[in-house]
Structure formats: C-alpha cells, structure tokens
Structure 1
Amino acid sequence: MRLRGPASIALILLSFSASAATPVHVTDVVDGDTIRVRVDGNVPGWDVFDVRLIGVNTPEKRSRCDTDEERVTEREMAARAENYVRDRIDEAGTIEVDREGEDSFNRALGVVLLNGQSLNDDLLKEGWALPYRPGTHGKQWCGDAQKDAYPLK
C-alpha cells in the first residue's frame, strides 16, 4: 500500500514529533539560527530537515540593513555567530531537537539541546542572538543593535 497526502506526511514526521526531544545528526549549520539535521528511522528522502531555532534571531548573511557599512558589519557578525554554533555542535556529545511546529518556510521550529542544554537559551544569554521579534523584516540587527552587540562587535 502506498500512502499519499496527509497520511504520508504524518507517517514521515512520526519519528520527529513535537512530544519529546529527538536525537539528531547535524549535517550542516545553515546560519546562526538554522541547522540541517538527519533523523534516523524516517523514510529515505524525508530524513533530512532544516530546524529553525525557535525564539532567537542571529545576524543575517544576506543583510537588509540600510547602509553599506551596516550590511558589512551584519555579515561579519553572522559569520561569527554561525561559527559559534558550529563549534558548540562539534563539541556536543548528544544533540537533540525538541520540535515545536513549523515556520512558513517549512522548517521545523524547535529547541536544540546540546548535552541536554538549550542552545537557543545559550545564544541569547551569551549575546550571539536577540529574542526573535516578528515583523522586523530582517532588520533586527541593523543600527543600534550592532553598536550594542556583544560578543559580536
């Protein structure tokens, strides 16, 4: 029997459910607030997902700041935040995702747990991210946010 439509999607996402943290293998750090993961046991071809770290916003590689200077600064900050995430993941013994839904780009939204500790919380506490604010249209890291950014400046 071949499943189609919502039934097939439900089956595929069964092992990557919102009820508990799921062990994952990180295949790529897309940027400071998005990682690509592989989930063992899913249907081949549906076993790799992008996970957007919920509640945080790191600087953007494709800056939308108004001035050239701000755009260059944001891109540099984005590279440092991405490297921080990559280093933390490389050092982690266990990596899990506590999935909390999907965004409009079909990425899983969730909390990334490194050895049981929330990477999302650490990004905020250590100054690599700002709390996510809808409606900022990619400009949350422009202007005064760059002047106040620590440790990104």
Structure 2
Amino acid sequence: MAWDVAAYAVAAAAIAAAVVIGAIAWRLARALRRWDRMALRLAAKTSFALEEYARLAEEARETAAACRDSIAGFSRLAEGARAVGEAAETAAQAAVSAAAFWHDRLTLRHQNGEGDGEASDPEPDVAGIVRRLWQSIRERS
C-alpha cells in the first residue's frame, strides 16, 4: 500500500507540475500575444512616422532647390543691375562730354564773333541752331 500512496503522490505531483507548467505557458503565450500586438501597433506608427519624415525630407529638398534657384536668380539680377549701372554711367559721361564740347564750341564761336553771319550760311551747324534757339528763348522771357 505504501507503493500505491507513493505512486499517487508522484502522479499528483506530476499533475500539479503539469498544471503549473501549463499555467506558466498560458501566461507566457498571453504576454507574447500582447507584445506582438504592441509590436504591430508600433510598426504601424513607425511606418506612418517614416512616411511623414520621407515627405518632410522631400519638401526640404524642394525648398532647398527653390532657394538655390532664387539665389542664382538674385545673382543674375544683381549682375544685370551692375551692367545697367555701368551703361548709365557711360551714357552720363558721354552726355557730360558732349555738353562740355558744345558749351566750349558755342562759347568760343560767340566770343570770336562768328555767330553774326550764320543767317547767310547755307548749311548752319548744330551749334548755330542751338545758339539761335537759346537766344530766342532768352528774348521771349
């Protein structure tokens, strides 16, 4: 009978161990399912975040390209403005030189008395025309 009791005790211990191992396995499986669901949710959120970051990176690249194009355009605009400024300076210098030349010529002719016979001159020069125009304006005022 002692062997029977020992066999029942061993069987009960084996059943208890199997129940404990089963309970541990069930809890472990449940924890693993939770971790799996959490990993899937995290993967979905990560995927969404990666898509957003990729979109943001693309927008940043486009913005950088637009800025680069704008800077190049401003550079070309500044170069054009410099060229226009140089052209205006050259034109102003030419106008000053022409005005000084004609002023000197008109003043010299008037001082030499060459202006009196211009009415009979068949081909009056520009200086004579300008001088007569200036005289008529002065006489009217």
Same fold at TM > 0.5: no
TM-score by length of 2: 0.21
Q: Which has the higher helix share?
A: 2
Question: Max radius of gyration: which structure?
Answer: 2
TM-score by length of 1: 0.20
Q: Which has the higher strand share?
A: 1
Larger relative contact order, structure 1 or 2 (CA cutoff 8 Å, min sep 6): 1
